[in-house]
Structure 1
């Protein structure tokens, strides 16, 4: 898995949102493990002035053989927080591995992609599924898409069909309710009731048909996300994400939250 791909995986796990209509700045921290081995520490800075939001994710990745490359990743997303949902306007990703830098910049307007740039550019070949113009409409970024605004801590949190464009790939995440659960570990950043959802990854375009990771995720029936309430704000954040890999479970868990 490339570090940019890993950063996008981090993106749909390490998310949070401040209170509706109130100016809030907060930080959430997560730890990522593969097969029980720590491979990354992730911090997310969150801000919302009541009309605009910003998410800033930074990850230090120790790496694990050929599965995850070591390096650093930075992901930012921003847009409008008015109304009943977040609306993406900007998404930026940068990874650094052994002196090489990879960047992605995407601009959105009204849930549609208006421009995107990848540097260095990906080389298209017959193994890469072309990104069509129709794939760039009614989409969001990979960070903001996983913030749930409003509702209650029940199965309704899982009734979501996410359409995501990362600047490199276009895919869908179809969520479904799995169970009501309880977070009890004192080592995590939250203890209390959580909602468990199944996630079905559906690649659309931009991916390589020969990619083992893409095919594995598409075939997997065990991609799970637990949602927890963000205090009394009426927002819900990922508490944990779990997916199976050939070398063991990849897990990201919330370790602390500073509102």
Structure 2
């Protein structure tokens, strides 16, 4: 349970990347709460800064409430990359997570959408039924944090069905999988602080490619799960959308990540150095 919660917080999962135009400059500071069946399990913070040439993202998370009573847990994640010809090009991704029982770390270095260096601790176990990850599986991919950003073509309305029409190819250091997004509806949201307005809601389908164990019940459950959604909200001054909320049906109830604070603004001082997002 604690590993699932922390991973969900760090991922802020389920969106994608595609674009054909420049982005302009913007900054987002967001704070999220993770709940399961209505009970708070964790909190996360996200900081994102983008301009027409690059982007940086950092996040932190910790377990709270019932999950914290079972096992303490915390983690950080970050990604950076370039923006070229209107598309994100991930350069580096890092994630560290720690509980009372286990510490994990992942480092990816990428060039031209291909992983060129990686370190995973602890190493992936050599289970006989695990689908092996090949060099091909490390090409034309996004890291998990870069996959949480969507750039919308300049000729399109950012908050529209077009934002959901994509398949995301993701490699997280352990597994290679696709997330297929499809348009569900438009819906208004309101954070306690910051954004209040429309979001585009995308349905998500999970398709494992490599690194997974097909016989595992969890893999089968997620492949057949028809109730996974992400709510995408805009960043001021840009044509980028990021998750405001994400929800997944589980055997224990609905697991949901939702922004309680979602403050974005056009960037004015390009010389300012980004700071790391901290969990409240």
- The TM-score normalised by the length of structure 1 is 0.88
Pick aligned residue for 2:110 from 108, 111, 114: 108
Cα offset, 1:135, TM superposition = 1.1
Instruction: Flag the 1:64–1:15 CA change in 2: closer, same or farther, 3 A.
Output: farther
**SS of residue paired to 1:157:** helix
Q: Is the CA contact 2:97–2:104 (under 8 Å) kept in the aligned structure 1? A: yes
CA distance in 2, matches of 1:38, 1:247: 14
- CA shift at 1:182, angstroms? 1.9
The answer to whether the Cα contact below 8 Å between 2:5 and 2:63 also exists between their aligned partners in 1 is: no
The range that moved more, 231-240 or 194-203, is 231-240
Relative contact order higher in (CA < 8 Å, ≥ 6 apart): 2
Q: Is the 8 A contact 1:107 1:115 kept in 2?
A: yes
Other-structure match for 1:208: 213
Q: Which residue of 2 aligns with 1:242?
A: 247
Q: Is the 8 A contact 2:232 2:241 kept in 1?
A: yes
Counterpart residue number, 2:183: 177
Structure 1, unpaired ranges of 5+ = none
Which residue of 56, 59, 62 corresponds with 2:61?
Answer: 59
The alpha-carbon deviation at position 101 of structure 1 amounts to 1.8
8 Å CA contact 2:204, 2:230 repeated in 1: yes
Cα deviation, residue 106, structure 1: 1.0
Q: 1:197 to 1:49 in 2, by over 3 A?
A: closer
Partner of 1:155: 161
Specify whether residues 162 and 72 from structure 1 end up closer, same or farther in structure 2 by C-alpha distance, changes over 3 A only. Answer: same
Alignment RMSD (CA, Å): 2.7
Distance 1:138 1:165 in 2: 9
Q: Partner residue of 2:257? A: 252
* Mapping of residues 34-45 of structure 1, within 5 Å: 34-45=36-47
The residue aligned with 1:88 is 90
Question: What secondary structure does 2:256 align onto?
Answer: strand
Runs of 5+ unmatched residues, structure 2: 265-280
SS of the aligned residue for 2:203 comes to strand
What is the distance in 2 between the residues matched to 1:8 and 1:32? 8
Distance 1:63 1:170 in 2: 32
Task: Give me the whole-angstrom Cα distance separating, in 2, the residues matched to 1:211 and 1:2.
Answer: 19
Separation of aligned partners in 2, 1:233 and 1:129: 39
Change in 2 beyond 3 A, CA 1:177/1:15: closer
Q: The residue matched to 1:138 in structure 2 has which SS?
A: coil
User: Against the structure 1 CA distance between its residues 32 and 124, is the aligned structure 2 distance closer, same or farther, given a 3 Å change threshold?
Assistant: same
Q: Does 1:226 align with 2:231?
A: yes
Instruction: Measure the CA separation in 2 of the matches of 1:15 and 1:52.
Output: 19
In structure 1, the residue corresponding to 2:42 is in which secondary structure? strand
Deviation at 1:250, TM superposition (A): 0.5
Paired with 1:105 and 1:197, the residues of 2 have a C-alpha distance of 29
Distance 1:4 1:178, change over 3 A: closer
- TM-score, normalised relative to structure 2: 0.82
SS in 2 for 1:86: strand
Residue matched to 1:197: 202
Q: How many correspondences in the alignment?
A: 255
Q: How far is 1:232 from its partner?
A: 4.2
Question: Which whole-Å deviations, capped at 9, do the CAs of 1:155-182 have from their partners, x for residues lacking one?
Answer: 0010011000000110000111111222
1:27 corresponds in structure 2 to 29
